Structure 1
Amino acid sequence: MGVQGRICWAVVVLTLCMGADVVAVTFENNGYDLLVAIHRNVTQDPRMITQLQSMFTSASDYLYTTTRKFTYIRRVTILVPDTWTKDPSWKDEGEITFTDADVRVDSSHSLQGNTPYTFQPGQCGQPGRYILLTPDYVLDKDNGRDINYGDAGRVLVHEFAHLRFGVFDEYGIPGSRQHPVYYVDDTGKTVRPTACSTDITGNFINEVKDSSCEPVDSKDVVNKDCYFLPNAFDNTATTSVMYAQFLKEVVHFCESDPDSGRMDLIHNPNAPNRHNKMCSERGTWDVIKEHTDIKGGNPVDISNRAPQFNVVYRQREPVGNTTICGRRIVLLLDLSGSMKENYRYFKLRQIADQIIRDILPLGTEVGIVVFSDSARIWANMSFITSSADRQMLAQGLPDKEDYGGGTAIGLGLLKAIEMLNGRGKSAENGRIFLVTDGEENVTPSVNDRYSDIVRSKVVVHTMAYGDSAA
């Protein structure tokens, strides 16, 4: 990625009053802690909280079953927006933001409608970014949620498998040549639904009256009006969560070679679905059991799997004529001598200037730390409340004559954390934006103090200049 690409990436990361798109899921003692956030444009409705609680309680039971007693949902924090009238029972929370959330309640996706959706840009086994639920889905506005999607807890587990484990859908897409809803098997004669299990029973349905669902030929299934409707009752298949979690009999993920010898769990590698394409025809459980949450762990008997729920409220605090908005952030800038090469110092100042003037919203608390042979505070933490504040901070950025010396990235990170911890505040959930050309050559190194950095619970974004900076 070139410098211009890195600059564009930085702009995206720091957009508006929100943190970065990072998954906040935590896992401990077989239990997940999740953050659910409601967008500030969602109309206040007390049923939103109770519906979310019901959905995640159901999801915890199903997750426990489908992951074979390895995991469940231990705790769910629900972040209520500042546009809602505060309930006295809600706790104040000034740090977490909407885009920190694992599950977001927001307006519908342009292509998905009210269908729950997971933003999953990575490869097989890599986590997604977040799950999106629409207000209409959560509130079951048309009273057709269970009919159209099945139990909401099961739907959440399907999406959570995308989010946490990096597995993909095992069903076909109507009208798709790449992932058709059905295919012709190896015999060249039998038409099968695109599914994990070959045991799924049901019927091919054509939306065009009195038309069949036969493919045009054995190699190209193109009938876009056809779909497969599994039998809603007495289906013998127990797999898979990524295909038909709405069937009550489906309580497992597929696997390629079950240790139990159970043939009902066998994965179908021939189905032309997205999961087989992305995961080299491995079963979903084959991928999941290699995840760090499962591998090396042990199943446990947990009788009470109902999550603990905390409802928190983010109260915007006034600062002058504006309000506190977004994270507290420290710009951590490399002033080492090597930054003079190839005009890196100019590029550093350019991006720092852009962040201060154009990216950080009014109400952001920001400071600057610089490092070379050592680390020091360049500008103390202060709020941006006006254009004049932006101007003053940007004009005070380092110039060419300020550069020289070594590269003490570890000391710089520790000084930035120290500043975030100042004035009686906590560094936790604060942001550090590190700009460096790498080539760390002053102790302690980042690795030397890695545990201290992680323990502070800050989020570090990096911009790298030069071939050795990665």
Structure 2
Amino acid sequence: MQATLTSASQYLFSALDSRAFLRSATVLLPPSWPDSCVSTAVLSASGESSDVTVLPGSPARGKIWTQQSLGCGQPGDQIYLGYEELIKKDATLARSLIKEFAMYRYGVFEEQGYYNDPIYPMCFYDDQTKQAKVTGCSDLPIRDNGICSAQPNAVYNTTKMVDENARSSIMFAAEAPSVSMFCDEGNHDRLAPTKHNSICQRRSVLDNNGNGNQITDTTPRIVYKKQNLTRYVFVIENTKDMMQRESWSYLRLALRQWAIYSLPENSEMGMVLADSVEPTRALHIVPARSGSNDRFGNSNRDKFYSALPYTPSESMQPGCLHCSLKEAMKMLNERSRTHGPASSVIVVIAPGMNVSDDLISTLKDLKKSKIRVATVNYPDIVRPTTLSLLAQETGGADYTVFEQKLNVETTLLSTYFELHNVLYDIITKFYSGSPSDLPMEIHRREINDDGRTSVTGSFMLDQSMGEPAQFTFYTYNVITPLIKGVRLISPSHQTFASRNDKFIDFKMITLNANISETGTWTYIVEPYPGNPQPHFLQVMATPRSPFVPVVRANLRMHRNSPMEPLILLADVKYGELPILGAKVEVTITKPEINGSAAHKTKVELLDTGAGDPDITKGDGVYTRYFSASEWGPGLYTFEVVVTDNGNTAYTWTESSRNSAVSYNLQMTYSSFSFQKAASMPGRYIFLKKTVVDLQSR
């Protein structure tokens, strides 16, 4: 690896006229690997995310490739590399890595054609020369070697097509020995139907701005790290705006369940209350591990949720958010100095925020300290803006949970259910370990009183999923749950009806069921009629192994520039392999002030590779533009559902895997789960609700 990165650094240094090189590389080792697997010390990671994922087998698109889902000049999503390529010690790997790094880091695209591609063909007709010409870019003429004349034995090999003395272009023939430069304005072919020309308005790849300092050593330093620990400090606004009917009691209940049962052992937690005058350090950072009890027998998990007051303060003034963020940052930095580095996360729960110079300054300090912020707008947005800026600027995650009322005194169970799931999703996003350690949601259902005395449904358990698993029934009334019974029937027709009230205080009823048998499970619920509150069903299951791929999805939103429309992107993957042919639908709702949904529409995201906005066909990234110009500024809700599109979804054949090798590489520099059948194609469902504050553009 050292030799490959050193060679790649020198290649990049030369290609960019001594303006850039790879200064260092951080290798994130899997948590299961012993420290002795490398010759140097293994340090604790600080929440770094990877630029390059080294896979146990070959990537889906060759030995190395970059997933790009955004526009020209926008960073890529990830570089994928097969570990076999590192073992081979291929001399051309460093060159290929720099080509992919340019795509990933600078948002440029390939300058070659593709077989049978009508948009980016391997050859095109040049009106000036009146003959067929190879699609590409070079400072010397490119030979077609019979490709453009469709000779039967012609082989498309860019290394053999460029002139032996050609110096460009890396984006066309990076592996050619003589090629060491990107195409610039002097030799760029603006007429060639390349992907780069199409997406980057026919500009050349090379940017000539800036001058580098004199650099003599381009050897990157390699540091090995592991994600061992996640530290959370919750910043919770402590004002009267946090109390709407049962919103505060729901928050206390959800945080209690989160701390006792959801939070992994390799975590630490603290709490700051954002009061209107100055912050209160409600709980110093303490470990979540079992056995850490005080002399009164209270565990640290008990201390966490007990630090939250029974009711918020009576203050009508907003909490001092920037003061509280500073206090949380101070706690995390102090803990890092005394107990070593960790993935540091601040979770902010507040009804929106006021943006000030002090807040912007605090954001800069958070970024310097590598602290990410997860935000939960709750129970409403009563401030000028949402909390989303905090998450966006620090690489965190943004959520919104609106308090939903049943009547003047009662809050709908929907609010608690959403809050519970948001807190769990925060764990999955910032967990320091393998994602396969954590249970995934594979089924959910809302049950309302519609006159039926019995409700029947089903879910599929994939062969890659199993125990620990849990079938949970959520009910509002914990004293007298309005339900006659719940039965769960396995694929082999074994019935589970034994109830477990261990979690009843958290409005949760579980069944004593061994959910491990692959296939279709059926459930029967018998609710009492006349219940004004909804019930919820949720099934969680855990991947059987970190080396067995499972279906996951990730919803994200992006703007290439502030004035451009919002791009909706849904990554749908089976392990690292894209799922093709799925149906990805987004229901867009703009609620009115009185809570009614006056505007609602449904759109489908596509993976067509049309280029605007979908960059690449068949990469499992489904996209579409959305503009708020029709309905105007306001808060918009996006609900995304992914299905198998009538059993037509499929994925590529996965190459052989070596379960011993899988790690991430960070050179400088992100799910909800859904249901899938036992085989591919199969039926799977993914649901995510996101609230975004949009201006009319």
- With normalisation by structure 1, the TM-score equals 0.66
Matches within 5 A, 1:14-163: 52-82=1-31, 83-84=33-34, 86=36, 89-96=39-46, 100-108=49-57, 111-113=60-62, 115-140=63-88, 145-146=90-91, 151-163=92-104
Give the Cα–Cα distance (whole angstroms) in 2 for the partners of residues 350 and 128 of structure 1. 40
Secondary structure at 2:36's aligned position in 1?
coil
Matches within 5 A, 1:234-249: 234-249=163-178
Secondary structure at 1:100's aligned position in 2?
coil
Per-residue CA distance 1:226-274 (angstroms, 9 max, x = gap): 8464526743432222221111222221223xxxxxx4xx222222222
- Check 1:109–1:103 CA distance in 2 against 1; reply closer, same or farther (3 A cut): same
Secondary structure at 2:11's aligned position in 1?
helix
Give the Cα–Cα distance (whole angstroms) in 1 for the partners of residues 113 and 309 of structure 2. 56
Q: Contact 1:411–1:444 at 8 Å: present in 2 too?
A: no
Residue 606 of structure 2: aligned partner: none
- Check 1:138–1:444 CA distance in 2 against 1; reply closer, same or farther (3 A cut): same
Give the Cα–Cα distance (whole angstroms) in 2 for the partners of residues 359 and 169 of structure 1. 44
Residue 114 of structure 2: aligned partner: 173
Give the Cα–Cα distance (whole angstroms) in 2 for the partners of residues 165 and 444 of structure 1. 31
User: RMSD across aligned C-alpha pairs, in angstroms?
Assistant: 4.0
Give the Cα–Cα distance (whole angstroms) in 2 for the partners of residues 327 and 383 of structure 1. 10
Specify the structure having the higher radius of gyration (Cα): 2
- Structure 1 residue aligned with 2:265, among 352, 362, 372? 362
Query: Which one-letter code corresponds to 1:251 in the other structure?
Result: S
Query: Which one-letter code corresponds to 2:339 in the other structure?
Result: K
Residue 267 of structure 1: aligned partner: 188
Per-residue CA distance 1:419-464 (angstroms, 9 max, x = gap): 21345236775222333343327x8821244454344332233345
Matches within 5 A, 1:255-404: 255-256=184-185, 263=186, 266-286=187-207, 289=208, 295=209, 297-310=210-223, 312-314=224-226, 325-340=228-243, 356=259, 360-373=263-276, 374-385=278-289, 393=304, 401-402=312-313, 404=315
Residue 597 of structure 2: aligned partner: none
Give the Cα–Cα distance (whole angstroms) in 1 for the partners of residues 310 and 117 of structure 2. 56
- Check 1:395–1:304 CA distance in 2 against 1; reply closer, same or farther (3 A cut): closer
Greater helix percent: which structure?
1
Q: Contact 1:428–1:458 at 8 Å: present in 2 too?
A: no
- How many residues are matched? 371
Query: Which one-letter code corresponds to 1:363 in the other structure?
Result: N
Residue 461 of structure 1: aligned partner: 374
Identity of aligned pairs, percent? 25
Aligned-pair CA distance for 1:70: 0.7
Q: Contact 1:121–1:128 at 8 Å: present in 2 too?
A: yes
Residue 617 of structure 2: aligned partner: none
Greater strand percent: which structure?
2
For structure 2, list consecutive stretches of 5 or more residues without a partner in the other structure: 292-298, 389-697
Q: Contact 1:206–1:227 at 8 Å: present in 2 too?
A: yes
Residue 191 of structure 1: aligned partner: 132
For structure 1, list consecutive stretches of 5 or more residues without a partner in the other structure: 1-51, 214-225, 257-262, 290-294, 317-324
